[in-house]
A and B are shown apart, each in its own frame.
Chain A
């Protein structure tokens, strides 16, 4: 993951400016990656407050450790690895406190009429089903099917072997299908 935008500045250009003392240049990297990384954090953690906490934490840690980014042109991939770990840490801490529940029965009952209501209910149900997956399986599913990373890229990010990742993705797919089928029947 590395980007050249319309300004022509690559990730590496921004990183070098920051390391040369131009702190404000880091804002360019934040703007570049906030939405994509924010989406992953939101899907992984299931609520906006935790997602933004993980995202903010990842950006600040990334800045402090910028010299450890050995390939500045792939800053985005490196930062993604930090975010994956922050989501693991934050998710684990939350799981010990309480279970995140996204499935909103009241909202679903309000949205029970018409195509718009069905679409809303479908989205709610999908988010609920994703939240039911185990964290490792959810992580693997999101990286593979939402972020569309290769298994090699996933291994680089997570430190998990390709075979284990394939198993997690397969289990996530099976579990999602079972949960969604049951939700539809209900």
Chain B
């Protein structure tokens, strides 16, 4: 071990020493928690919304857009990061609703041929991993799900096989996020 290594080890040892934290901090945290809302519960079933389809225009990934008023938002493959690199450059993920303040049906699409399960998680389902499972199309590894969204800005991501958390490589990133790996953003506009 060099003299430099010994010096830096000494630095690390000193920095590892415990620090004094105000014992009142625990109480302040609990007061802060009690002063605000509880972790939000999963939203109620939204099946009825699916009957109120609206015409939407979509970018990005026009090639993946489906006919029923859809935004295709992601490409993923095996391994995920390699296909992500091949995907198109991020574009504006904006959906325009034809009826003001009415939900738009937005389809999220991901190509994951090796995945056993894929879930869509986002602000619209309280990041509940069980709320919005995606369905695979037979044989081609394309997973999709449609979600009714009111006009607004939503952060979202895909959860592959219950453990791999992926942002959408084809959509803008949510840089204002605090929670680990970056997420993506879709904006649904009113007409």
Spell out A's residues near B (CB within 8 Å).
18-19, 21, 23-24, 26-27, 30-31, 34-35, 38-39, 42-43, 48, 51-52, 55-56, 59-61, 63-68, 70-71, 78, 81-82, 85-86, 122-123, 126, 129-130, 142, 145-146, 156-157, 159, 173, 176-177, 180
- Complexed CA–CA distance, A19 and B40 (Å): 9
A24 and B33 alpha carbons, distance in the complex (Å)? 10
**Do the beta carbons of A34 and B12 come within 8 Å of each other?**
no
* Chain B 1-41 per-residue mask, 1 if CB under 8 angstroms from chain A, else 0: 00010011001101110111110011011101110111110
Cross-chain pair count, CB within 8 angstroms? 127
Q: Is A39 in contact with B33, judged by CB distance below 8 angstroms?
A: no
Cβ B179 vs Cβ A82 within 8 A: yes
Contact A18 B180 (CB under 8 A): no
Please report whether the interface of chain A is mostly helix, strand, loop or mixed according to DSSP. helix
Q: Determine the residue in chain A with the shortest Cβ distance to B180.
A: A81
Number of interface residues of B (CB under 8 A): 42
| Interface: B90 (CB within 8 A) | no
Which A residues are in CB contact (< 8 Å) with B127?
65, 67-68, 70
Do B25 and A55 touch (CB < 8 A)? yes
Chain A residues within 8 Å of B16, by CB: 39, 146
* Cβ–Cβ < 8 Å partners of A71 in chain B: 163
A19 and B126 alpha carbons, distance in the complex (Å): 13
Q: Report whether over half of chain B's contact residues are helix, strand or loop; otherwise say mixed.
A: loop
B128 within 8 Å of A (CB atoms) = yes
> Judging by beta carbons under 8 Å apart, are B165 and A70 in contact?
yes
Chain A hits for B177, CB < 8 A: 85
Closest CB in chain B relative to A106 CB, distance in Å: 21
Q: Is the CB–CB distance between B178 and A59 below 8 Å?
A: no
Q: Is B179 a contact partner of A39 (Cβ separation < 8 A)? A: no
A52 and B181 contact, Cβ closer than 8 Å, known pairs A26-B30, A38-B19, A146-B15: no
Contact yes or no, B179 A78, CB < 8 A:
yes
